[in-house]
A and B are shown apart, each in its own frame.
Chain A
């Protein structure tokens, strides 16, 4: 009996031990859960990553705005309607309903598409507005559905269309800055995005829409007035390399569905190359000054045509005498300029053109850029003709950029379509000519406006300087006498140029007001003057008046009053 109780006691003890073991395991288990729970809820910070991953949207395409923040390109939400033909029970009825709501659909072709066996997806209409989408959706045809898409719109229309470019129906950029945002500029585009808030900053251009409009307006007036084939105008900030305005006419509407651009509508200022003619002489002058082979007091004999081999170089405004350096510039003497190039020599000339960048393609953000066309064989003759702009063709933008570099103090600053600060520009710049050379070029440019071929560019108060060019166009391998390209490159205010301007008119005609002339001095120059007069106040150039200006103003006021009397 005693043994029994002892046995029972020990059995009871063993049972209690087992219970204790089990409860210990359980409490350890629960403790573990509690600790883990505490760790997860109290210690662990939930990060926002999960939230972003859930929404599988692509980053929105950045807007494009001008330097003042005015919207030039933006995305708006539109819907695209599609249909799954397999789900439609009565095709005839569906076609009838759809064509009644969307009149632009072709009933026959739609029916064909819907009846094609095995097809599971047919676009009905892409990029439609909310009302139209609801109207179609409410027809209640099975299989009709829509997806929300983004559509690119250009509120500015034609203005600056060449720079902004455009996108295809899948909002992929195929021209201009739009293309840049997708291709070479992808890094730049990525830097604009803000993944946390799922937004993007706009891409800010260097252009000013007010200035752009003034340039477009004046150039288009000139194209009509002088019956030119096309025209163009650029305004470039000489200190930062920013392109403030760039207008190439004829232009196009980027909002149009089918653009079908003709070759005339291309951006001629970057994708075309032209022999700019006499404006290139400025480069030769800068070269001769910079190599030290010429001073302001040097003289060049232009009394006889220059003969190289069996080619003769003669002057358009022939003076038939010995010319001083400023006279060679203001009379635009081919002979004098060619002699300068020969003085420098073949290698020096080649090296200088290389240094200013005429040997390489100018690359900006806008992808449409053309390579310069240079003489194939660098000979004495090609050097002499290249000195006055014959036989070598460049993008007009490149021509302006180089001239701007020569007069801004001699620093080469790559032009850009994106907004840039002075500090950034200074970091990119490198010296191409001495400051003294640049100083002399400024003097010559200003002189050419006060006393030379560009006298009509003298906008009172803004100290304009510039060089004209009238290049005979090459038609069928020969220089045409009747078809010319009139150009003007200038800058203002000349004592410290802030903005450079380029105006080009392709095949301007002589009109009664120009006394039978079709040279740049009579068409491109007055156009540039009209542009400067309009944009200088917008660009913040303070007018200053020289005594000659005041005398001119007084004279104008006098004639103005007499005219009134007569009127």
Chain B
């Protein structure tokens, strides 16, 4: 009887030891993964910061102004060009400028051509 119990206990110890070992092993694996992910997140954060700084530097108002002056024919907005939402209704033309149901031509393209 005692032998059976002893054998059972030895088996239990072995099984438990194996279980514990594999658990620890997988924990270490997970820890490594966490560390790796954390470094990855940090690297990404650094990259985001760098890109943010770059974006900010590229969208500097003085740079945009210089480019706009060179490339686009734009002028500062005059007060007379601003109207309120209520006034918009009165400025809509009676016949639509763009005929969307006209499938034959590219209606917006025609307007753009006219503008040039």
Contact = CB atoms under 8 A, between A and B. Distances in A.
Interface of A: 63, 70-72, 74-77, 153, 155-157, 159, 199, 209-210, 212-214, 216-217, 459-462, 533-534, 536-537, 542-543, 545, 553
Contacts of A76: 46, 49-50, 53
B76 A156 contact: no
Majority secondary structure, B binding face: helix
Contact of A156 (B50, B60, B79, B80): B60
8 contacts: A76-B50, A76-B53, A77-B46, A157-B62, A213-B65, A461-B80, A536-B79, A537-B82
Contacts of B55: 71
A537 B53 contact: no
A220 B73 CA distance: 23
A150 to B, nearest CB: 10
B61 A461 contact: no
A543 B46 contact: no
B65 A71 contact: no
A153 B79 contact: no
B105 interface: no
Given A460-B79, A533-B76, A542-B82, A74 B57 contact: no
Given A76-B49, A213-B61, A213-B65, A155 B76 contact: no
Interface residues of B, number: 22
A159 B60 contact: yes
A153 B80 contact: no
B52 interface: yes
B77 interface: yes
A70 B55 CA distance: 9
B104 interface: no
Given A63-B49, A75-B49, A155-B53, 16 more contacts: A71-B53, A72-B56, A74-B49, A74-B53, A76-B50, A157-B62, A159-B60, A159-B62, A212-B61, A216-B62, A217-B65, A533-B79, A534-B76, A543-B79, A543-B82, A545-B79
A543 B65 CA distance: 24
B75 to A, nearest CB: 11
A75 B55 CA distance: 14
A389 B25 CA distance: 81
Contacts of A553: 80
A543 B77 CA distance: 11
Contacts of A212: 61
